Structure 1
Amino acid sequence: MREITADAREQACDLLTFIDASPSPWHAVASCKQRLLAAGFQRLEEVDRWQLEPGGRYFVVRGGSSIVAFTLGETPLLDTGLTLVGAHTDSPGLRVKPRPAEDSAGVVRLGVEVYGGPILATFSDRDLGLAGRVMVRTGSGIESRLVHLDEPLLRLPNLAIHMNREVNEAGLKFNKQTELPLLLGIGEAGRSADERFRQPVAAAAGVAPEALMTWELVACDTQKGAFWGVDREFVANGQLDNLASCHAALSALLATQRPTQTCIVALFDHEEVGSESAVGAGGSLVGDLLQRIALQAGLDVEDQRRLLARSFFISADMAHAWHPNFPAAYEPCHRVQVNAGPVIKSNANQRYSTGADTAALFMAICEQAGVPCQQYAHRTDLGCGSTIGPIVAARLGIPAVDVGSPMWAMHSARESAGVLDHHYMIRALSAAFSA
């Protein structure tokens, strides 16, 4: 392993800070907005007519949980094409239902719905809070407000081994309807379970409980991110999949000053549940934005197609690192190592968007950046996950590659990755924007 520089350590520390401040997709977008505004980016609204200036730096938000930021290049679009990096703001977990609270024999529980494919057992016996957005009624109308209850509020206690003797052999399993409700507190005479739930949420939103209309809330781990390992060469946190890629892409864009080509970062919600939504990669967000940029540049329909054919899309998601305790889970010749560089992900059935040509192009980008890279393929007898890569590539008709930083425990409440790998990914994406 190469030496971990102070720069790499600082970037990993900033990543953990970013994740800790972003316990939900809406918070992740708010964190991105804050950084973009501080760097001089201008916010655009989809309902307005745009006036884009050469060299301008802009961003647009859709639905509060997806964001696209871009820097216009100094040369005409058709001369260089554009580079687009995509990632996603959502992570698997537990979402609070619209009417969640119930009193069960004197204990207040919150009903939750499983979002995506989390490792459910990892959410048990953890100090959980709540985060997301709530809709509130105010004197001036309906408002959306972010809330983050980051103190231990909820818990999913395990059943004692005395009542589940086979747990260590059969594995920890939960019935998603009856055994996943989260414990909130002891019921109180004269106060309903709904009132017990609304009170802390309303306080976090700065309104009275009766002003709460509805919500989109996630159960979030209250433990902060941390370095670990004998040389502190690893990081642990929730939502590394895929906030690490969001942070890397945004960091690369912010570090790219006066690029020759137009550079775009698109961070979508709903990847973990299929991307088919107005704010997902299957929606119109990035296509709408590219069309508006092209129209501002005076490109007609044919030139817009020429632009896409000359462009490059990097789908940045995380990758499965080889786990020494489970060697049989991996393809023998594709054992991706932590802290050994970005991973190019390939799948013959197009679960990833990578082709031999786009893989070679990303290899060249890594060479230019001076970072190592690796290649990954899933075991043939195991189902392979997918990303936004094939979705965006198919909708835009743009050459694409799927890449990611290697990690352990993907979709766990507490994931792990390498300090150097995050540094490598930022350097690789920065090189892509500077090509």
Structure 2
Amino acid sequence: MRTPPRFDRGHTDDLMTFLASSPTPYHAVASAAERLEKAGFRQVSETDAWDGSLGGRYVLRGGAIIAWYVPKGAHPHTPFRIIGAHTDSPNLRVKPRPDSGAHGWRQIAVEIYGGPLMNSWLDRDLGIAGRLSLRDGTSRLVNVDRPLLRVPQLAIHLDRTVSSEGLKLDKQRHLQPVWGLGDDVRDGDLIAFLEEEAGLPAGEVTGWDLMTHSVEPPAYLGRDNELLAGPRMDNLLSVHAGTAALAAVAGSGDDLPHIPVLAAFDHEENGSQSDTGADGPLLGGVLERSVFARGGSYEDRARAFAGTVCLSSDTGHAVHPNYAERHDPTHHPRADAGPLLKVNVNNRYATDGSGRAVFAAACEKAGVPYQTFVSNNSMPCGTTIGPITAARHGIRTVDIGVAILSMHSVRELCGAKDPYLLANALSAFLEG
């Protein structure tokens, strides 16, 4: 067992930088790729032939990244050790005809993505970011990271029932942000604005995938700065920790019994059914091509998958001090008490007893404490990419994560040490 890791605030500082620079899944994978490049990884194209050479590689597709490191001595049947995560978060996404408005206000038409806490988007200064598709078939990332839009809340004087009946929001009528004044709403205004922001000629953009984000940066808070508040921690906290763990393991030498992998998918918040989601073919295709590029057969592929383990890392619920009755009475996960092992016997999480043993061994090796999350029997349990990964690829999968408050809010909260503890546990897992 290692000596318990002394908290390194540098990891959490870097997480804050990662969160701020990753307002969309496309920016998140670009940020992860930049960190992996510095660790010696190089990008490979899915349309090129792959070779079986040693070292780090990664594939980018939309808002997903799959990265792996082939050490010396790896055989075609060498198993994989996978960290799974997702890059998307609930938010407000721009509709195909974005320009809207009424009564002298210019607005942007948005659609609700995933399951956000809608009230958390009210009266926030919002930027806009995403991917612009160009006439020549390429794409360009854009990020207007300054106050540009706002979803104004109705004054209490115009809705006295708020105090007695609570806030009720209609997704179609009440969440359309304003971004200017005027009665002349012209189609193409937003896209023309973003072309200018991105330094593109007028009319160059023919498609877009755009979304809003809060421009308030991540911050430490609390008496002793022991808490971290920020956007998109569900689940960029895990993407960042997995990236850091893979880079650290790849840089520690080639004495690895497994092939370490990071698989960060898009579209988890709406079911994972896409070509970049966990329920798509991306991960399986990359792993199989890695086996075959090293001279392997289908038999080698079957052997490698049979010995593979995946840690599906996603945020979980810390016990809420104001709503403790919503949690299981014998499972009260706390902030800064180490990562969660997430269990559900109805397979909303993929963890079983053998998976628990794998995670316990990694935490023991890293000197990291861990705790267990189980839902209150009276509350429906959420799910992750874990069961999807296990069922689609036939590999043993364990669900874990970091305990947070305000999940799916525009701004979430966790202990400042937990991201560092998670990264240490993930590194030990990848080492085998």
TM-score between the two structures when normalised by the length of structure 1: 0.94
Q: Which position in structure 2 is the counterpart of 1:390?
A: 387
Q: CA deviation at 1:212?
A: 2.5
Q: Which position in structure 2 is the counterpart of 1:41?
A: 41
Identity of aligned residues (%): 41
Q: Which position in structure 2 is the counterpart of 1:91?
A: 89
8 Å contact 1:195–1:209 — kept in the other structure?
no
8 Å contact 2:52–2:295 — kept in the other structure?
no
Aligned to 1:207, which of 188, 200, 212?
Answer: 200
8 Å contact 2:362–2:429 — kept in the other structure?
yes
Q: CA deviation at 1:205?
A: 2.0
Q: Which runs of 5+ in 1 are unaligned?
A: none
Aligned to 1:123, which of 121, 124, 128?
Answer: 121
Q: CA deviation at 1:216?
A: 0.8
Aligned to 1:368, which of 365, 368, 383?
Answer: 365
Secondary structure of residue in 1 paired with 2:127: strand
Q: Does 1:272 align with 2:232?
A: no
Q: Which position in structure 2 is the counterpart of 1:58?
A: 57
8 Å contact 2:340–2:400 — kept in the other structure?
yes
Distance 1:404-1:77 versus aligned 2 partners, 3 A rule: farther
Residues 111-190 of structure 1 mapped to structure 2, 5 A cutoff: 111-137=109-135, 141-187=136-182
Aligned to 2:421, which of 421, 424, 428?
Answer: 424
Distance 1:231-1:77 versus aligned 2 partners, 3 A rule: farther
Q: Which position in structure 1 is the counterpart of 2:305?
A: 308
User: What amino acid is the match of 2:190?
Assistant: F
Q: CA deviation at 1:195?
A: 4.4
Q: CA deviation at 1:158?
A: 0.5
Distance 1:81-1:305 versus aligned 2 partners, 3 A rule: same
8 Å contact 1:40–1:57 — kept in the other structure?
yes
Distance 1:294-1:409 versus aligned 2 partners, 3 A rule: same
Q: Does 1:101 align with 2:80?
A: no
8 Å contact 2:77–2:300 — kept in the other structure?
no
Q: Does 1:323 align with 2:316?
A: no
Q: CA deviation at 1:384?
A: 0.9
Alpha-carbon distance in 1 for matches of 2:286, 2:193: 39
Alpha-carbon distance in 1 for matches of 2:77, 2:300: 11
Residues 192-271 of structure 1 mapped to structure 2, 5 A cutoff: 192-256=185-249, 257=251, 258-259=253-254, 260=256, 261-271=258-268
Q: CA deviation at 1:9?
A: 1.1
Distance 1:244-1:292 versus aligned 2 partners, 3 A rule: same
Alpha-carbon distance in 1 for matches of 2:363, 2:90: 30
Alpha-carbon distance in 1 for matches of 2:377, 2:163: 28
8 Å contact 2:79–2:305 — kept in the other structure?
yes
Alpha-carbon distance in 2 for matches of 1:109, 1:293: 48
Alpha-carbon distance in 1 for matches of 2:77, 2:393: 19
8 Å contact 2:76–2:291 — kept in the other structure?
no
Aligned to 1:353, which of 331, 337, 350?
Answer: 350
Q: 1:307-344 CA distances to partner (integer Å, 9 max, x unpaired)?
A: 11111111010110001111111000110000000100
Q: CA deviation at 1:213?
A: 1.7
8 Å contact 2:92–2:112 — kept in the other structure?
yes
Q: CA deviation at 1:202?
A: 1.5
Alpha-carbon distance in 2 for matches of 1:262, 1:182: 46
Alpha-carbon distance in 1 for matches of 2:49, 2:78: 26
8 Å contact 2:120–2:410 — kept in the other structure?
yes
Q: How well do the aligned residues superpose, as a CA RMSD in angstroms?
A: 1.6
Alpha-carbon distance in 2 for matches of 1:26, 1:416: 23
Alpha-carbon distance in 1 for matches of 2:336, 2:161: 37
Secondary structure of residue in 1 paired with 2:348: coil
Q: Does 1:410 align with 2:430?
A: no
Alpha-carbon distance in 2 for matches of 1:167, 1:20: 33
Q: 1:38-82 CA distances to partner (integer Å, 9 max, x unpaired)?
A: 22211100000001313x1110111x2111111112233477522
Alpha-carbon distance in 2 for matches of 1:168, 1:287: 52
8 Å contact 1:154–1:182 — kept in the other structure?
yes
8 Å contact 1:228–1:235 — kept in the other structure?
yes
Distance 1:360-1:168 versus aligned 2 partners, 3 A rule: farther
Alpha-carbon distance in 1 for matches of 2:45, 2:76: 26
Secondary structure of residue in 2 paired with 1:142: coil
Secondary structure of residue in 1 paired with 2:8: helix
User: What amino acid is the match of 1:120?
Assistant: M
Distance 1:143-1:297 versus aligned 2 partners, 3 A rule: closer
User: What amino acid is the match of 2:204?
Assistant: A
User: What amino acid is the match of 2:368?
Assistant: V
Q: Which position in structure 2 is the counterpart of 1:434?
A: 431
- Matched residue count: 425
8 Å contact 2:338–2:370 — kept in the other structure?
yes
Q: 1:275-321 CA distances to partner (integer Å, 9 max, x unpaired)?
A: 01011111111100110111122222122112111111110101100
User: What amino acid is the match of 2:9?
Assistant: R
User: What amino acid is the match of 1:211?
Assistant: E
Secondary structure of residue in 2 paired with 1:347: coil
8 Å contact 1:202–1:212 — kept in the other structure?
yes
Alpha-carbon distance in 2 for matches of 1:305, 1:211: 47
Aligned to 1:81, which of 79, 89, 104?
Answer: 79
Secondary structure of residue in 2 paired with 1:193: coil
